[in-house]
């Protein structure tokens, strides 16, 4: 007889109110309420949903893109700010776990962040994307090993990564070593460079999410952002730019630990929520077949050296760096 929890999950496919933090938080709260009303225990939002992904740095020179940076910086979300606390309150009011992607402002710097908030409205943690991708590096700083996180919760072991962190094999293996059961794979949307390369398109990157589910034997909630017409009007002032960035791009999915597609997809230009009912027994059964950090590993051949220590540039004088932060990912955890 199963003792594993069964519950409903919700995944967002939507566009933010671009570069309007308060309005996008309002939209998040509405989606949280809808998901909870439909019985979901957890809702997952796209990458940089608040206040939107900085598409402008893919559309012109850095000097041209800088015209948008002051507003983007001002509209970023600050931890423990009134708008952030509204998200925590919404999670508590509706009794639902929330994983939200946002642009984090920390004084003069921006980071690609995810927050994990429990159903009591308590933030379990926030994390930063370890390595921003290509043009993102002109906007965002980096995370560190402390941003590899998995949380023990009432709905299982919950973690997440952003976008192309899912094509970093060692980052994925570090996550697998923490025995994740439910993973949020947050994506910004797939309507950029659609005629240039498939590498950043929906088909390829959904394959990446699906592969993560099979490799890690976990459920993958893959929320996906979208580009709205007002973004095109704001950012695309030439035919060339309009060919590079288009309306739509929603490719949200939910995958099981055997790679099964668990929810009917929405059209790429339609906003909404995807739902699936899951049971964590499926994770156990998948790991019987192939546990990459357990019986299916070959630690005599390949091993991962994982530094989980925080490397923030400023630390309290009395804080000493731990010499025990390096873990071999195929060995049992000691904490």
- Active-site residue set: 47, 129, 163
107 Rama class: left (phi>0) / alpha (psi -120 to 50) / beta: left
Continuous segment of H or E residues that includes residue 320: none
- CA–CA distance, 313 with 93 (Å, rounded to integer): 36
The DSSP code sequence of 255-290 is E-TT--B-SPPPPTT--EEEEEEEETHHHHHHHHH-
Strand pairing category for 272-279 and 6-14: antiparallel
Torsion angle of alpha carbons 70, 72, 77, 81, nearest 10°?
40
**68-79 CB burial, b ≥16 within 10 A, e <16:** bbeebeebbbee
SS3 303: coil
Residue with tokens 């390096």: 326
Q: Tell me how many degrees the CA angle 44-190-162 measures, rounded to the nearest 5.
A: 45
Residue in this structure with the two tokens 């979901």, named with its chain if needed: 40
SS3 127: strand
Which strands, in side-by-side order, build the sheet including 156-162?
Answer: 150-153, 156-162, 182-186, 219-222, 253-255
In DSSP terms, 328 is beta-bridged to 305
């Amino acid at each position: 007889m199963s003792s594993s929890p069964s519950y409903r999950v919700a995944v967002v496919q939507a566009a933010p109110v671009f570069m309007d933090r308060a309005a996008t938080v309002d939209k998040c709260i509405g989606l949280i309420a809808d998901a909870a009303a439909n019985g979901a225990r957890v809702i997952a939002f796209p990458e940089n949903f608040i206040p939107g992904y900085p598409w402008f740095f893919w559309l012109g020179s850095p000097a041209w893109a800088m015209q948008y940076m002051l507003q983007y910086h001002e509209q970023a979300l600050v931890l423990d700010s009134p708008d952030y606390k509204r998200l925590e309150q919404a999670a508590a009011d509706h009794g639902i776990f929330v994983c939200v992607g946002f642009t984090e402002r920390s004084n003069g710097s921006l980071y690609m962040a995810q927050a994990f908030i429990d159903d009591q409205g308590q933030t379990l943690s926030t994390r930063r994307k370890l390595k921003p991708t290509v043009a993102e590096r002109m906007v965002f700083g980096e995370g560190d090993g402390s941003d590899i996180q998995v949380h023990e919760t009432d709905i299982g072991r919950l973690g997440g990564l952003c976008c192309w962190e899912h094509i970093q094999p060692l980052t994925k293996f570090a996550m697998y070593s923490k025995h994740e059961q439910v993973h949020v794979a947050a994506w910004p949307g797939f309507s950029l460079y659609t005629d240039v390369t498939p590498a950043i398109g929906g088909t390829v990157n959904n394959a990446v999410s699906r592969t993560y589910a099979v490799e890690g034997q976990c459920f993958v909630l893959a929320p996906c952002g979208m580009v709205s017409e007002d973004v095109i009007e704001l950012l695309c002032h030439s035919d060339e730019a309009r060919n590079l960035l288009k309306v739509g791009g929603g490719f949200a999915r939910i995958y099981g630990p055997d790679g099964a597609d668990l929810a009917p997809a929405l059209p790429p230009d339609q906003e909404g929520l995807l739902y699936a009912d899951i049971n964590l027994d499926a994770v156990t059964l998948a790991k019987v077949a192939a546990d990459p950090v357990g019986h299916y590993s070959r630690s005599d051949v390949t091993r991962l050296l994982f530094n989980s220590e925080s490397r923030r540039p400023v630390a309290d004088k009395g804080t000493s760096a731990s010499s025990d932060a390096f873990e071999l990912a195929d060995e049992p955890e000691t904490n």
